[in-house]
Chains A and B, each alone.
Chain A
């Protein structure tokens, strides 16, 4: 789940804007090196020239290495990719420094360090590269995560604006009510009330979060309407007594899962079946599992859209502490939602 969102954190080092940024950072490093108080015979301008050429060359070397390694790096997890990129950068710098210092001594230019001190030169450069690339990579990583968050937040807002209740459901319910009014007015009245609650949640959710208790009630109301419509075909087995009802929860997080269970599980079956909802409360988290039978020839992953929507919202609200698991197979379909329970008194 987190792979998709954190995979593209490494920028294109071969692109011009990134190359420019790398060169600016390299020039800053060169300036710092030159400005650092030290006893040097040569004038600072000449030192800046030599240091600039050298540091820029190392920076470009790093950029080329990271650019060519981009694909394998992104295939790793974010953490492993980060570490490997950092190691690559340090290694490239150390190797480059060793080559430069060898060449310098062979040519006798005396631009780097006196003979015999090349080890210190290589290690020093590697250490500088280690510090700077760690800071830079971390910065890029955080930047990319921030971008991801911003886009997820706006997506979650857009999603919240759309009523996720199927239009089919509205019209079927209206039909149910029309038919109940003649024969069973009391049930018709209750269905109107249930329907109103559902659409209040779907249309007016906005930013205000609800509670788990409210969501469970909503699920009950939804199932009550569908039970009227499907009659004997829909059987419900709910066991959620141990769930904390006051847990804050985004609205309409569970109801769409039950709706999926009916549309893809119960409705296509001539004899219907049982929807099972089981809630478990453990220290630090809750788990809610929704199971339903599916027709044997059901196309897999038909309800991917609704699931992706809920998954995105769980990730947006709970980060990696929440998850949604799907277990199809054996004529049955099970979705499990796991959410953190942060309250300290439980």
Chain B
């Protein structure tokens, strides 16, 4: 079994690697120091197991686990944490395996023995129980078998098309398979709905304009083409633009 170690602390990674060396049938595939790096490493190294620290900069372990589930062959995940008081109860309630640091080699061996892959919905339940109302820092899309992460802060607007949502961001566009309403709910306050099929980043919204034929368009900073505002969303949007 090939394992990826993810922790932002070098000494913690060092110790985990030393422990793994004692366990038969497990081999170290690589190391990563943030959730973001972990996804990149997981896509490249294709480990069967990821030992994931929870508190990390850029992207924490919970969010990384959720994105890992989008990989073609998602790895099994074991969370590692120093101390998280009430958050640990969330893990127990969802029967998700976690190890507390300093990790004992017997506990690690037992956890690896029954390690399983986590479905995205389990992780979502976990996130909600540990910290209600938390938001992802990145959206994750699969492009030709590999993962593409888009920082939420870089997104200009989201456009629903058939069963996909097109994420238009600073460096291009990607498709994700998530309903627009769920995104609207998760990122309330960051995105505003201007049309039945469109959410716009509030920070990028630069103004409204009216066309000669009476339609209203929303201008978005850095995007050449203005987007159509539906009659239904116009009053709320007007109010919002005035307060900007």
Residues of chain A touching chain B, judged by Cβ–Cβ distance below 8 Å, are 167-168, 170-172, 174-180, 182-183, 228-231, 233, 267-270, 295, 297
Contacts and interface: CB of A to CB of B under 8 A. Distances in A.
A268 B137 CA distance: 13
B57 A268 contact: yes
Interface in B145-163: 153
A179 B82 contact: no
A182 B82 contact: no
A230 B57 contact: no
Contacts of A177: 102
Contacts of A295: 57
B9 interface: yes
Given A179-B12, A231-B9, A269 B57 contact: yes
B15 A178 contact: yes
Contacts of B100: 171
Contacts, number: 61
Interface string B32-54: 01100000000000000000000
B82 A171 contact: yes
A242 B14 CA distance: 39
Interface centre among B55, B82, B100 (most CB of A within 10 A): B82
A180 B33 CA distance: 19
B102 A168 contact: no
B11 A231 contact: yes
B222 interface: no
B11 A171 contact: no
A180 B83 contact: no
Contact of B101 (A174, A230, A233): A174
Interface of B: 8-12, 14-15, 18, 33-34, 55, 57-58, 82-83, 85, 100-103, 153
12 contacts: A167-B85, A171-B100, A175-B11, A175-B12, A175-B101, A176-B12, A177-B102, A179-B15, A179-B18, A180-B11, A229-B12, A231-B11
A230 B55 CA distance: 13
A147 B15 CA distance: 54
B153 A178 contact: no
A149 to B, nearest CB: 34
The 5 lowest CB-CB distance pairs between A and B, nearest first, are A179-B15, A178-B102, A175-B101, A171-B82, A179-B11
A157 to B, nearest CB: 25
A274 to B, nearest CB: 16
Contacts of A170: 83
Contacts of A267: 8, 55, 57
Contacts of B58: 270
Contacts of A231: 9-11
Contacts of A171: 82-83, 100-102
Contact of B34 (A172, A176, A179, A270): A270
B9 A230 contact: yes
Interface of B is mostly: loop
A228 B11 contact: yes
A297 B100 CA distance: 29
Contacts of A270: 33-34, 57-58
B131 to A, nearest CB: 12
Contacts of B85: 167
Nearest to B80: A175
Contact of B14 (A172, A174, A183, A268): A183
Interface centre among A170, A174, A179, A295 (most CB of B within 10 A): A179
Contacts of A167: 83, 85
A168 B57 contact: no
A179 B57 contact: no
B132 to A, nearest CB: 15
A327 to B, nearest CB: 24
A168 B153 contact: no
A294 B57 CA distance: 12
Nearest to B14: A179
A174 B102 contact: yes
Contacts of B103: 175
B137 to A, nearest CB: 9
A172 B57 contact: no
Interface centre among A170, A177, A178 (most CB of B within 10 A): A178
Nearest to A232: B10
Contacts of B83: 167-168, 170-172
A170 B55 CA distance: 15
A229 B38 CA distance: 19
B11 A229 contact: yes
A175 B10 contact: no
A167 B100 CA distance: 13
A180 B100 CA distance: 18
A88 B130 CA distance: 56
Nearest to B104: A178
Contacts of A269: 57
Contacts of A230: 8-9
